[in-house]
Amino acid sequence: MGKRVLVTGGAGFIGSHTVDELIAQGHEVRVYDNLNPQVHGEGAEKPDYLHPDAEFVKGDVRDRDHLYKSIKDIDLIIHDAAEVGVGQSMYSIDQYISTNVQGTGVLWDILVNEKHGVEKVLVASSMSLYGEGNYECVEHGKISPKPRPDDQLAQGQWEMLCPQCASPVDPVPTDEEKELDCTSVYAQSKKDQEVYSLMIGRAHNIPTVACRYFNCYGPRQSLNNPYTGAAAIFCSAIKNDTPPLIYEDGNQRRDFIHVKDLVRGKLLLLDRQEADYGIFNIGTGKPSSILELAETLIQLCGKSFRPDVIYKFRNGDIRDCYADISRIKKLGFQPQYSLKEGLRNLIDWSDGQEAVSKVKDAHQQLVDKGLVLESQPVSSK
């Protein structure tokens, strides 16, 4: 029997795909979204791609009375609403903390102090709160190092070094037990969301699950928002015949997961009681470099230029982090999309979309705020 599900941020990229799958599974869905102009455009109305069977409520998660009206008759909540983006968070500080932390606080204040029928909450967390991922040193074994020092980056020495012997180390999968080490306001705000949600949920016997999303991409990711994921940013640049801008040397590694795989993972956690009060990575478990991502997109788009690798460091960035997904795999999760297949799906969708590349403006904002570090490209020789 279907449930009544509220999806905050449900008109966004990941949220809207979540809505589609919930409705396909027989649930009734209410979307609560403020239609952020940076994502949806100025004066935006409900997006055309939003499932016609979903009820849409335009509202801000910080508006307590309005949010409560949307919660009163709900069985399950998926809390996806958030400001996203590492770079922007380092200067739009109040915007990120207010939306991500205060908004989550308002949600939980309602759940603790008002009458409702909510049975479970799924909160969107992020791989960004790990900081650097796990690594392996030949001499010292598995390590979880702190961010690379500025003097190392200023010399163009991009790869992570063992903090004990200064030898190069290799990235290994990052599991949920790794100590958290936030390197941006965005990451800290997602950590706060996760910690408060699990703490309060457990204290008040409201089953809660934290989903640590890795680098999600796919159709409906804004092609006009320079602070969204790398795949959409690069796709927008390429569609405008502009080489994608890449920080460092491009060999930093991430875990890119197609949105349909991510949604299957999160809804598996929503269904499974054994996931209650747990923390789960949702990724592919396979690392890919930023350069590989850009080059694959360029190839699939039939372009001949090369990425613009600028050998500069963006404050708050990390070198390597990809998911250990053994915990969620034990519940039956298995990603289906290869990177190339998923990127082809993104490009096929983007062919019918307008794309305004604003990445140069975003980069200049970071430079103006002193958040981009110059370096000598030693590693490029």
Q: List the catalytic residues.
A: 186
Distance CA 194, CA 216 (A): 18
Contact, 346 vs 305, CB < 8 A? no
Distance CA 32, CA 297 (A): 33
For the beta carbon of residue 357, count every other beta carbon within 10 angstroms: 22
Tokens read off for 18 = 């979540």
Q: Alpha carbon 359 to chain centroid distance?
A: 18
Contact, 135 vs 170, CB < 8 A? yes
Distance CA 308, CA 275 (A): 43
Helix (H, G, I), strand (E, B), or coil: what is residue 330? Answer: coil
Alpha helices in the chain (DSSP H): 13-24, 37-40, 64-71, 86-89, 93-96, 103-113, 150-154, 185-203, 230-239, 259-271, 290-300, 326-329, 339-350, 359-368
Distance CA 144, CA 4 (A): 41
